[in-house]
Amino acid sequence: MPEVIFPGPDGRLEGRYHPQKAKDAPIAIVLHPHPQFGGTMNNKVVYNLHYAFYKMGFTVLRFNFRGVGRSQGEYDQGIGELSDAAAALDYLQALNPNAKHCWVGGFSFGSWIGMQLLMRRPEISGFVTVAPNANMYDFSFLAPCPASGIIINGSADKIVPPSDVDALADKLHEQKGITITHETIEGAGHFFEDPYMDPMIDLVDTYVRRRMTENTR
């Protein structure tokens, strides 16, 4: 999978780009957890989400936010990171102008950034949000949430209480015009350590494949 360096708003950003042969393949970006707590694009959840999308026929890009790995700049409280995500999507779209569908996937802090990107980019048609930090960040900007998607968390998450994710999902369920799927994996912690990674990815695979089948009918 080729390493890529692309321009961001605060310098170069480092990524991994995995294209499909089909020119009209759907595209997805995957966003990593908090940079100040060891989050990188090589996080296991992010890595597995990336390959799950690729195996489903997506052209996929994951990247390091500013100040992480070889990406230039410094951590910016989520504001700059949202700009980084927008630049990554711009880069991915420029390489794939014929893509018919666009998805965003995010884990932990990356899910918060991904949902903000969803609000700003109407071309995003679906999302995968894993262990969103509903106890740390305000998700009230999702009013209304512009696209359907799936939220996955673990019942044994010690970083984000499951009750907070439940409350977020319940709030989104009330909105009309979209469908929010919420799955809680019994026994899984925040990072979906074995044996919980495969069940989490299986949920993503089942959900995204169903959505893509519906879109092609």
Distances (CA, A) of 42 to 124, 183, 199: 23, 24, 20
pLDDT attached to residue 215: 78
Distance of alpha carbon 199 from alpha carbon 205, whole angstroms = 10
Q: Cβ distance 52 to 20 under 8 Å?
A: no
pLDDT over 60 at 217, yes or no: no
Return mean pLDDT, the chain: 97
Q: Cβ distance 7 to 73 under 8 Å?
A: no
How much helix, strand and coil, in percent to the nearest 5, is found in the chain? Answer: 35, 20, 45
Sequence ranges of the domains in the chain: 3-216
Superfamily of domain 3-216: Alpha/Beta hydrolase fold, catalytic domain (3.40.50.1820)
Closest by Cα among 112, 11, 8 to 61: 8
Give the predicted TM-score (pTM) of the model.
Answer: 0.97
pLDDT digits (tens, 9 = 90+) for 170-214: 999 999 999 999 999 999 999 999 999 999 999 999 999 999 998
pLDDT attached to residue 20: 98
